[in-house]
Amino acid sequence: MSNKEQQNIALEVTNLSIGYSTKKEQNVISKDINFALQQGELTAIVGINGIGKSTLLRTLGTLQPKLSGEIHINNISIERYKLVELASKISMVLTEPIATKNLTVFEVIALGRQPYTNWIGTLTESDKKKITEAISLVQLEELQHKKCYELSDGQLQKVMIARSLSQDTSIILLDEPTSHLDLYHKATILKLLKNIAHKTQKTILFTTHEIEVALQLCDKILILEKQNSNFGTPQKLIESNKFDTLFPKDTIVFDAANGSFKII
Amino acid sequence: MSLLLILCFGISISFGSVNIPFSDTFNAIFGGEIQKESWSYIIKNYRIPKALTAILAGSGLALSGLLMQTLFRNPLAGPFVLGISSGASLGAAILIMGSSTLSGIVTFGIVNDVTLAIASSTGSFLVLLAVMIVATKVKDTMALLIIGLMFGSITAAIVSVLSYFTAAEQLQQYVYWSFGSVGNLTWKQLALLGSIICFGIILSIISIKSLNAFLLGENYARSLGVNIKKQRFIIILATGLLAGGITAFAGPIAFIGLAVPHLTRQIFDTTNHKIIIPAVVLYGAILMLVCDTIAQLPSSIYVLPINAITSIIGAPVVIWLLARKKKMIF
Q: Judge: B329–A101 Cβ closer than 8 Å, yes or no.
A: yes
The separation between CA A178 and the C-alpha centre of its own chain, rounded to angstroms, equals 11
| Predicted pLDDT of residue B106 | 42
Q: Do B220 and A102 touch (CB under 8 A)?
A: no
Mutate to test the interface with B, among A91, A93, A120 (most CBs of B within 10 A): A120
For A120, which of B209, B213, B227 is closest by C-beta distance? Answer: B209
Gap between the Cα atoms of A1 and A8, Å rounded: 11
Q: How far apart are CA B63 and CA B235, in angstroms?
A: 11
Q: Quick check: helix, strand or coil at residue A76?
A: strand
Distance from CA of A98 to the nearest CA of B (A): 5
Nearest chain B residue to A172, by CA = B223
- In the chain, the amino acid numbered B125 is F
Cα A19 to Cα A50, A51, A67, B87, B301, distances in angstroms: 11, 10, 7, 39, 69
Contact A86 B225 (CB under 8 A): yes
Q: What is the pLDDT of residues A57-112, one digit of tens each?
A: 999 999 999 999 999 999 999 999 999 999 999 999 999 889 888 899 999 999 99
| Overall size of chain A counted in residues | 264
How many CB atoms are located within 10 Å of the residue B21 CB? 12
Task: Report the alpha-carbon distance of residue A122 to residue A113 in Å, rounded.
Answer: 10
> Does the pLDDT of residue B124 top 80, yes or no?
no
* Residue B296 Cα distances to B52, B240, B245, B300, angstroms: 15, 29, 23, 8
Q: In this structure, are residues A183 and A115 in contact, taking their beta carbons and an 8 Å threshold?
A: no
Residues B146/B254, Cβ–Cβ less than 8 Å: no
* Interface touch B225/A87, C-beta < 8 Å: yes
Instruction: Report the gap between the CA of A107 and the closest CA in chain B (Å).
Output: 8
Determine the average pLDDT of the residues in B292-302.
77
- Worst-scoring range by mean pLDDT, A15-19, B110-114, B229-233, B316-320? B110-114
Share of chain B above pLDDT 70, in %: 84
- Name the minimum distance, in Å, from the CA of A16 to any CA of chain B: 21
Contact B212 A121 (CB under 8 A): yes
Cβ contact, residue pair B209, A121, below 8 Å: yes
- Is residue B307 within 8 A of residue B183, CB to CB? The reply is no
Instruction: Give the helix, strand, coil percentages of chain A, each rounded to 5.
Output: 35, 25, 40
Residues of B in contact with A62 (CB under 8 A): 222
H/E element holding B125?
Answer: helix B113-137
Q: Does the pLDDT of residue B182 top 90, yes or no? A: no
Q: What is the pLDDT of residue B105?
A: 41
Q: How far apart are CA A103 and CA A28, in angstroms?
A: 38
Integer Cα distance of A90 and A80 in angstroms:
14
Residue B159: phi, psi to the nearest 5? Answer: -60, -40
Best mutation target among B214, B220, B325 (most A Cβ atoms within 10 Å) is B220
Which run of H or E residues covers position B286? Answer: helix B273-295
Could you tell me which residues come within 8 angstroms of residue B183 by beta carbon, excluding any fewer than 6 positions away?
B46, B50, B53, B303
Q: Residue A5: pLDDT above 90?
A: no
Task: Compare CB distances from A102 to B217, B274, B329 and report the shortest one's residue.
Answer: B329
pLDDT value at position B104? 43
Is the interface score ipTM higher than 0.90? yes
CA closest to A123 among chain B residues: B209
Q: Are B174 and B96 in contact (CB under 8 A)?
A: yes
For the ranges B4-8, B173-177, B281-285, the lowest mean pLDDT is seen at B4-8
Closest alpha carbon within chain A to B270: A103
Residue B150 near residue B82, CB atoms below 8 Å: no
Residues of chain B with a CB closer than 8 angstroms to some CB in chain A: 73, 205-206, 208-209, 212-217, 219-220, 222-227, 265, 271-272, 274, 329-330
Residue-level pLDDT at B108: 46
The single-letter DSSP state of residue A79 is G
B66 pLDDT tier (thresholds 50, 70, 90): very high
